[in-house]
Amino acid sequence: MVTFLKNKLRKPYFLLKHSLSSKPKLDFDYETLPNIDKDIPLEDILKDFPIPENLPYDLHEKLVFWREHGYVVLENVLPENWLDKFWEEVEDTIENHHKYDVTALIDGSSYQEPKALKDIPKEKLQSIGARINDYHNASIGAKRIMTNQHIVTFLKIALAPELTAFQSLVFKYSSQQPTHQDFPWVTSKIPSHLAAAWIPCEDVHPDSGPLYYYPGSHKLPKFNFGRSGYLYKNNISLFSPLDFSKYLDKTCEQYGIEKKVLLIKKGDVLIWHGALAHGGSLIKNPEMTRKSFVCHYSSIEAQPKHRSELDKDVSEFSNYNGVIIYKDPNNPNGENVITGGKNWVE
Ligand SMILES: O=C(O)CCC(=O)C(=O)O
Ligand SMILES: [Fe+2]
């Protein structure tokens, strides 16, 4: 009888022991952090960095702000005519969606997973909740915007000297996305090597559902998704994106961090740390667009290849302003088919 009980209890005992003893990793490895997030004086970090003469902002001042708050706004760095032309391309792509090998995602509908643009009705693509994925694969102009020289100068110090730009999103309306940080989803070999840019293609109106963010939230303790630590893994994580969002809103409140709303102008750009908590405000006036282009950046060290080619030795890429952009191996015919941006001049 005793032996029978012992055998029966063995498995649950080991499971319990395992769950109690395995402490999931709940923060980035210090050693892998970008230098700016380490305890290194800024003067040392900037020592050998050549500051371009035409830089329209004070790099030192922006970096001090970034360390403290986890974001910066760079004013007036993108030519407005590029943004107008970019948006004309986006509208034309939607209008002629059957011609393009691009994918899009529509929230809260049967289009939950990214689908080919061709297969989504135009009205859906033009509606609230729609986002076009990785538009930069198709558009040379989008590639040029996401690798704008002044954005790149900042990221070379704030993130890594060797950069890759990837995962872009085009939004016509606010995403109305609950609070989140990007690093649990936008993953690479080194989760702390992540930053993003939010590029408005029109001045942001307060009623259009502006982006919001919690200054300094990049330093908060990380959320434990359960079984997957601080990264989110579909079908493995015990907690949902909504649990994550509640945790972030509550923790920011506990730390006395006030939500800020982003009301920037066309030509400006917000750059945020991969761990800054942010989201899309609810739309107050559904007539109001909030045309924007979002892109993510990582280091070559963290992303030495395209993220769907990890088993390959190398990935094909192009180089814009020194930034590597991997070609999408899943859609070679869709690469650079929108060529107008080649000839854009400031
Ligand atoms: O623009 C928005 O509303 C949210 C965008 C965002 O959070 C993202 O793309 O990571
Ligand atoms: Fe985000």
- Cα(275) to ligand 2 centroid in Å equals 10
* 140 has a pLDDT exceeding 50: yes
At residue 111, the pLDDT reads 47
Indicate if ligand 1 lies below 6 Å from the C-beta of 134. Answer: no
Q: How many CB atoms are closer than 10 A to CB 274?
A: 25
Banded model confidence at residue 208, pLDDT cuts 50, 70, 90? very high
The pTM for the full model equals: 0.92
Best of 177, 199, 208, 244 for a ligand 1 pocket test (most atoms within 8 Å of beta carbon): 177
The more confident residue out of 165 and 4 is 165
* 335 has a pLDDT exceeding 70: yes
* 34 has a pLDDT exceeding 80: yes
Q: Do 197 and 152 form a contact (C-beta atoms < 8 A)?
A: no
Q: Which residues line ion ligand 2, judged by CB < 5 Å? A: 182
Q: Do 291 and 171 form a contact (C-beta atoms < 8 A)?
A: yes
Q: How far apart are CA 323 and CA 320, in angstroms?
A: 5
Average pLDDT on 14-28 reads: 64
At residue 18, the pLDDT reads 42
Q: For residue 196, give the ligand 1 atom closest to its CA.
A: 10
Indicate if ligand 1 lies below 6 Å from the C-beta of 170. Answer: no
* 57 has a pLDDT exceeding 70: yes
* 206 has a pLDDT exceeding 80: yes
Indicate if ligand 1 lies below 6 Å from the C-beta of 171. Answer: yes
For domain 2-343, which architecture applies?
Sandwich (2.60)
Q: For residue 174, give the ligand 1 atom closest to its CA.
A: 3
The more confident residue out of 186 and 209 is 209
Average pLDDT on 161-189 reads: 95
Give the bridge partners for 279, in sequence order: 212
At residue 45, the pLDDT reads 96
DSSP H stretches of helix in 122-270: 122-125, 140-146, 149-158, 241-254
pLDDT in tens, 296-328: 999 999 999 998 898 899 999 999 999 999 999
Indicate if ligand 1 lies below 6 Å from the C-beta of 168. Answer: no
- Cα(170) to ligand 2 centroid in Å equals 12
pLDDT in tens, 268-301: 999 999 999 999 999 999 999 999 999 999 999 9
Q: Do 253 and 206 form a contact (C-beta atoms < 8 A)?
A: no
Looking up tokens 């854009």 gives 344
At residue 105, the pLDDT reads 77
- The rounded mean pLDDT for the chain is 92
- Cα(17) to ligand 2 centroid in Å equals 36
At residue 15, the pLDDT reads 41
How many angstroms separate the Cα of 22 from the Cα of each of 41, 54, 217, 227? 35, 52, 27, 9
AA identity, residue 292:
S
- Cα(14) to ligand 2 centroid in Å equals 39
The more confident residue out of 39 and 109 is 39
Average pLDDT on 242-264 reads: 97
The more confident residue out of 121 and 255 is 255
Nearest protein CA to atom 10 of ligand 1, as residue:
182
Q: How far apart are CA 153 and CA 59, in angstroms?
A: 9
Indicate if ligand 1 lies below 6 Å from the C-beta of 278. Answer: yes
At residue 4, the pLDDT reads 65
